[in-house]
A and B are shown apart, each in its own frame.
Chain A
Amino acid sequence: MITIDQLRYVRLGTRDLPAAVDFAGRVLGLQLVDRSDEAACFRSDMRDHTLVFFRGEPTERAVGFEIHGQAQFEAAVAELSRNGLEAAVGTQEECAARKVRALASFRDPGGNVIELVLRPLNSGWRYFPTRDAGIVGLTGVALRSRDVPACEALWTALFNGRVSDWVGETAFLRFDQSHHCLAYYPSAGRGVLAIEFGVENVDLLMQNNYFLQSAQVRIVHGPGRRPTSNQIFVTFAGPDDTLFSFVAEGDEIADEATHRPRQFPRSRSSFCAWGSESDVPEFC
């Protein structure tokens, strides 16, 4: 079994890099750490970076997970190969761009690119954003998939992922005590549906909500509370129709032995306990 240490980053291709950079800094309030003509890296916490926009097609997207230890990393590549998932080992250049020692990427059954990385950089400097959005870190990624059960099976059989809850087929997966850091939504498309950043508390969440309104950012869901994780959230549209969420509060799953994943119906009220509506097909 491959053990995921933690979610590290999301990489998003975009045709309009300056617009994406403006969004990440001004709207999300992240700290710019590196900027070249080709890419921009943003920090949200003690990790060197958690969000990267690069010049490319919006369909080029990847989610990075850290594997701890060289032996584990090599075993992971071999394990994937045994199961018919050929992992492409990253070149030196690709590793340098991601600031990692080793990289192996593969596609999940839904076609999403997953990158496994070894020794990604942390920052010794405190996270210091331009806007006081109260971000505490990258907390989760939601992916689209035509075959959620197959994706779920990949993460729970080959990896140390556990299902925390289901809403219909939508699966919330955890690798530690956080309710989820990866979620799969049944969808006709593929790729990253939403990227979630944790904020300190409900005050920051609501302040961000009004900030987004005044900045004329399109809020697509919330403010609301998820009956599954008990997180409060506000979800809004970013560049290339990628969604971003601010989340706060939420339950941890402290007792692995006794937690049983719960099944919620596929309905609006399973995505929001406050009654917020959404036009995003995955959320209703």
Chain B
Amino acid sequence: MISLLDVSYVRLGTQDLEGAARFAVDYLGLEVSEHRKGTVCFKSDVREQTLCYFEGNPADQAVAFEVRDSNDLEMAASELERLGYAVRSGTESEAAARHVKGFIAFKDPSGNGIEFVYRPERSGKRYHGSRDAGVTGFSHVGLCSSDVVRDEQFWTKVCNARVSDRIGDAPLLRIDEVHHSIALFPSDRTGIQHINHQVETGDDVMRSYYFLKEKGVPITFGPGRHPTSSARFLYFEGPDGMVFEYSSGVRSIADELLYRERQFPFEPKGFCHWGAKPQIRQFQE
């Protein structure tokens, strides 16, 4: 079984690098960590980078997960190949661009770009956002899935993810004590469904709600509170239609032995316990 330790970063292609970077800095509140030709990377916490925009096709997206070491990476590669996945090893220069020691890339069963990395760099400098959004770090991704039951098998049987809760058939998966690092949502497209950053408090969620609303950023869901993870949330739309989420107060699952996943309905009240209605396609019936 492939043991994933953490979610590391997302990489997003865009045809408007400047616009995307402006969104990440001015609205999302991230800090530019690196500006290379055709690429802008951002940090949101102690890690060197957690979001990267590069010039390219917006459908070209990847999310990376950390494994322990080169040994685990090799084992993961051979396991995936044995199961018939086309695995590509990253070159040295690609690894350097990602600020990791080494990585492999493949597509999950739905066709989403996934990277497994080892020794991703930490930054010696703390994160200091351009606006006081209270961001404490990149935390999870939602992935589009053409078959959530099949994909749940992949993440829980081939990898070490556990189901924390389900909304309809959509599983919220954890790889550590955080309620979920991966969420799978039924969709007729592939790619990253949403990108989550944690913020310090519920106040930060609300401040960003008014800030983004004033800036004319489309708010697609919330402010609300998830009955699953108990986090307060706000979803809004970024460049290329990407959905970003701020949340605060996500539940942590300390006791692996006693915890049992719960079933929530795939309807607004399964997503929000305050009564907000999602304007996000994958969250709608």
A interface residues with partner B (beta carbon < 8 Å): 202-203, 206-207, 209-211, 214, 223-225, 273-277
Contacts and interface: CB of A to CB of B under 8 A. Distances in A.
B211 A275 contact: yes
Contacts of A274: 203, 206-207, 209-210
Contacts of B203: 225, 273-274
B38 interface: no
B131 to A, nearest CB: 12
B224 interface: yes
Contact of A203 (B209, B214, B273): B273
Contacts of B210: 274-277
Given A206-B223, A206-B224, A275-B211, A223 B276 contact: no
B202 interface: yes
Given A274-B209, A275-B214, A276-B210, A210 B202 contact: no
Contacts of B218: none
User: Which A-B residue pairs are the 3 nearest by beta carbons?
Assistant: A210-B275, A275-B210, A206-B274
Nearest to A272: B210
B274 A275 contact: no
B275 A214 contact: yes
Contacts of A224: 206
Interface in B24-54: none
B140 interface: no
Contact of A207 (B209, B211, B275): B275
Contact of B206 (A207, A210, A211, A223): A223
Interface residues of B, number: 15
Interface of B: 202-203, 206-207, 209-211, 214, 223-225, 273-276
11 contacts: A202-B202, A206-B223, A206-B274, A207-B275, A210-B274, A210-B275, A211-B275, A225-B206, A275-B207, A276-B210, A277-B210
A197 B34 CA distance: 51
A276 B211 CA distance: 9
B225 A206 contact: yes
Q: Which residue among B202, B209, B210, B214 has the maximum number of chain A CB atoms within 10 Å of its CB?
A: B210
B120 to A, nearest CB: 35
Nearest to A204: B274
A248 to B, nearest CB: 11
A273 B204 CA distance: 10
A214 B275 CA distance: 9
A210 B209 CA distance: 15
Contacts of A277: 210
Contacts of B206: 223-225, 274-275
Given A206-B224, A207-B273, A209-B275, 10 more contacts: A206-B223, A210-B275, A214-B275, A223-B223, A225-B206, A274-B203, A274-B206, A275-B210, A276-B210, A277-B210
A210 B214 CA distance: 20
B122 to A, nearest CB: 33
Q: Which residue among A207, A274, A277 has the maximum number of chain B CB atoms within 10 Å of its CB?
A: A274
Nearest to A209: B274
Contacts of B223: 206, 223
A277 B273 CA distance: 25
